[in-house]
Each structure stands twice: as C-alpha cells, then as structure tokens.
Structure 1
Amino acid sequence: MSDEGGQKQEYVEQGEFERDTNYVADRITKHARRPGHGPVDGELWPVEPGRYRLVAAKACPWANRAIIVRDLLGLQDVISLGTPGPTHDARSWTFDLDEGGRDPVLGIERLREAYLKRFPGYERGITVPAVVEESSGELVTNDYPWITHDFFFEWREHHRDGAPDLWPEHLREEMDEVMQRVFTEVNNGVYRCGFAGSQDAYEAAYARLWSTLEWLEERLADRRYLMGEAITEADVRLFTTLARFDAVYHGHFKCNRVKLTEMPHLWGYARDLFQTPGFGDNTDFEQIKQHYYLVHTDINPSGIVPAGPDPAVWLTAHGRG
C-alpha cells in the first residue's frame, strides 16, 4: 500500500499504520554551509536561482505545502515548479498534465527517472515533493519538512518584498510543539484512521485525531491563526489536511465524527486561509479527489470519485478578519 506521496507504508502487528519517514537527507543551504541543526547525513547543495525544480503534485498534502510556501515567499522566479498529475501507479508519479506526458523542463515521463539518475537501483518510495537539479536531471532531496524550512531560512535573499515571517523567532519554540502535534495527530492522524489494519487500531487513531481537532477548535476561538495574528509555517501544515477533510478524510478515511464545516472556528480559519493568495489558488479539489479515490483501490475498489462537496462553500464569508 502507498499513500498519496507515493511512500511505501508499514503496519505494526496490532494493525496500526506506521509512516515510512526515511528520505534523501540532502539539503539546499546558503553557501552550501552545514547548519548547526538538521540531518547529519546527506550532501549540502548551494542556493542558486534557476538551478532547481520543485516537483510537487497538488493532490498530495505534503507536496501542496511546498507549493504554498514557495508562492507565499515569492520564490516562483528562482525555483521552477513541475506538477505531476493526480494519480500514480506502483512505480512513480507521472506528468499526465503536461503535453506529451513529459515534464517540459526535465523531459521525463516519470519522477522515478530523476531518482534513478541520482541513485541507480533506488528501492524506496518515489515521493513528492522532490527537488530536482534541472541541468543534471538528478534528484536533490525529497525530505519535505526541510524543503519548506529551507525555503524560508536559506533562500531569504530571494524572498519577495513583504513576504510573511513564517518562522517568527520569538514563537519558534512553541511553534515546534504545535507543529509536532499537528503532524502526529492530524496530518498523519487521518492516515492512521484510513489505513488502520484492525478495529482497535482504528478506534485508537480516531480518538487521538479528534482529541487534537477539539484542541485546535478551542485554540482558534481567540486567535486568528495558530500562532496569533499572522500566518506561519504551522498554518500551512494544518491547512493542507483541513482542505482535504470533508472531500476525502471524513468518508474515505472514516474520520467521520463531524465535518469540518460543522466546527465553527476551524471552518472559519480554513476559509480564511483558503481566501488568502497562495492557499486557495493552489488547492485543486478535483485532483485531490481523483487521487485518493482512484489510487487507494483497496479502500475504494469501485474507483468511483464522489461529485461533492461543492467547493463554492470555501468562498463564503469567514468572519475572522
């Protein structure tokens, strides 16, 4: 089984979903210096406008966050974007949306080609987002948490004027805690529900997910964004799961206590972000639905893609200004 990032997944004996989090640990850093934190393995590549291509499918929440951060920071002219189609097979993501089924810059039909060019015989999952060097066509990294982190910290000289401070220094310690809980209990929590291999594992995952969604609903009752009055990386990470919740996770992954639209603070918050440039314009509900309902044949063997919900509700007034 694989999730929408293309990752091979594992299950513990009790039927609990466990995400494979082993990635190519290379990073792109200013002057290719080794920071004092982060992965100790892997190579460091230099920040260089025009050298790299972000390959990220809008269907995938992990990739979608990289697309959103790239746009928020104004990196469109220095890091190009390739967008695979919404579905993939066991081998790789494919460039179904491009003319001739090939990425127009890399000239490849499958993202797997960039992985194999760097690592012949590569046996792990072919995941998005991935950063590829345009000149060589080789994979640089697929370590998605560090991709967006480094877009902010390492590419700062190339940010647009007025770009948001996605990692405010005085909030970073609390923000790390919030993002960790969002990742384990929400971003990954919906997958623990959807891919649970036993009733007990599912019910435990369901309880953890909803405990944290209740916490988030309460947290957002008296603040506009997760960390206060300004958008941060934490909001990007939560948004991509919320955007998929009613369309996919509520039914497809059995996260069906209530819908997002029935949680007033989370729903207003999600619409507020959706209507912010960089978020909604990079959210494609049709691609999202096509991915989950067509790729997860073990969960949805009929391959029928639901017609709803109506995306127009995302443009209604959110009342959080």
Structure 2
Amino acid sequence: MTNAFQQASADCAPPPRTIALVGKYHSPEIAESIRLLARYLHERGITVLIEEETAGNVVSHLALGSWASGNFPWLGAHSDLAIVVGGDGTMLNAARQLARYRVPLVGVNQGRLGFMTDIARTEMLACMDDLLDGSFTPETRMLLDAEVSREGRSIVCNLALNDVVVDKGAIGRMIEFELFINGEFIYHLRSDGLIVATSTGSTAYALSANGPILHPGVSAIALVPLCPHALTNRPILVGDRAEIEIRIVHATDSRAHFDGQVTADLKNADTVRIRRSEYSITLLHPPAYSYFAMLRQKLHWSERPKEH
C-alpha cells in the first residue's frame, strides 16, 4: 500500500494529515514526549494515531483522552507517516513492522546513540513545524530478507534493517559454517559467527567487529566475520543484489539474530539465506541533517576545522 504522502515528490509533498506515534514502552520521559507530540499535532489539525502497546503502556496514565490506537498493520493502512520516539531499537522494530506499508519514519532520539533517530527531544516541537511544512528530506534505506531452512523446509522468515547475525550462541565454542554468494562457494570458516549488514547496520554491531562504515547511498551488503580462527578472513562487501547463503557445518548452540531483536535457534545442516528485500524504508530527516555530521557527533570524531 502506498499513501499519498509517500507517492508525492520531496519538492511538492503535501502536508501529512494522519500521523502515527510509536514509543518505547515503560518510560516516563517518552510518555511525556508522546503526550506533547499528540497535543501539538492535534492543535495543528493532524489526526493522531497511537500504536497500541505504546498507548497501553505509556499513554494511558497521562490523561491523553481517547486517542485512536491500533496495531502496526492498522497504523500502516491509515497513517501518512510515523514518528518514532525512543532509540534505534524502537526505530528498528517500527521499521520492520511498517516496511510493507511504505510509511515514512521520523525519529525523535531518547535513547543513547540514536544513529537513526536524529531529532533531539529538546528540538522536537520546533522540528514539527518543518515536518508539517514539507521541509524534511527523504532518504531510502534497504532491508534484508532472511530465511532459515531445515531439511529443505523453511522454518523462519524475517526482515532486518540493520543486520542478520549468525553466531555461536551462549556456549563459548566456535561454530563452523560454509559461506556461498550467488551459489558460489566462498569459504569454510571457524569463528564466533558472521554479521551480514546493510549500510544502516554498518554503524551497529558490524562496526564493533571492525567492519566498514557504509554511507546510506552505497548499495552494498557487508559480510563481517566475528573473531575468525583464520586471521586472513576479513570483511567483504558485495552488491545489494547478491544472494548470501550460510550453511551450518558444526555448532552446539548457534543462533540467527534479526536486528538483535528476534532470534531463531539453529542446528547442524541448517541454512540461512539472505537477500535484499523488496521492501525499503524511507527516513525523513530535518533540514539541517548531515550524515557525516551525525557520525562526527555519535562516534566522537575530531571537531570541524575552525572557519577563518
């Protein structure tokens, strides 16, 4: 389903008429932000919808009134865009849930790093004027489709915006797996696991494993080994149309993780197949947004040179 706000070009996008609010659960600070946003948007003539778990766990005790609430499919069918209040984890969950409905996402950061939630809480309401005036810039982010197969039968299917990770699980032993790309055998590896990351996920788990940072405009998938036994196994970048297959050769407690939020147990001979999803996510950034400025801030890179 494609809504009118998503279909229009960035230069002539009409102001959104219906906005969904999604927040991290059990947080008084986020509850207050949801309350402020809901009232502000309502006063601007916007129809406000609230994700049902957000409404049940965050909003109900704040006397917000009878705001309409529903699950993610319902929000996807009725919203022009969604504002996600929280950290990157909240954004990842909302992105996977709403991707098939092509609802653009705006992030208000109340987490720790906030690589995808780029509006500070202190600037939240001021930024809403730019959002409603159509001044935000859209940016498309790819997702991954992942499927776990056992004895020729699909047992798990999931989406990932950041990454799909196959690892050794709770037991401190390396796993053995074979990697194939587009059906071609690449290597047999003993390691703690493998991260398959999008450009969005390149600044997440993959970054801590010495993977490369990929600009969102780069259409590539990063394959980053976790503590490989052979030190010559280095991160590899492949095109975004590559089909990646991981075959478990030997493992005691291996698992597949999707965005670090959904987990599937793996057994010997299981196969994890990963490819670019047909769905993508549109993030809407405020006018002053800069990807590299965000990296400087979040990763504590050197300060910008002084202008003379």
**Whose helix proportion is higher, 1 or 2?**
1
**Whose strand proportion is higher, 1 or 2?**
2
Greater C-alpha radius of gyration? 2
TM-score of the pair, normalised by structure 2: 0.29
Higher RCO (CA-CA < 8 Å; seq separation 6+): 1
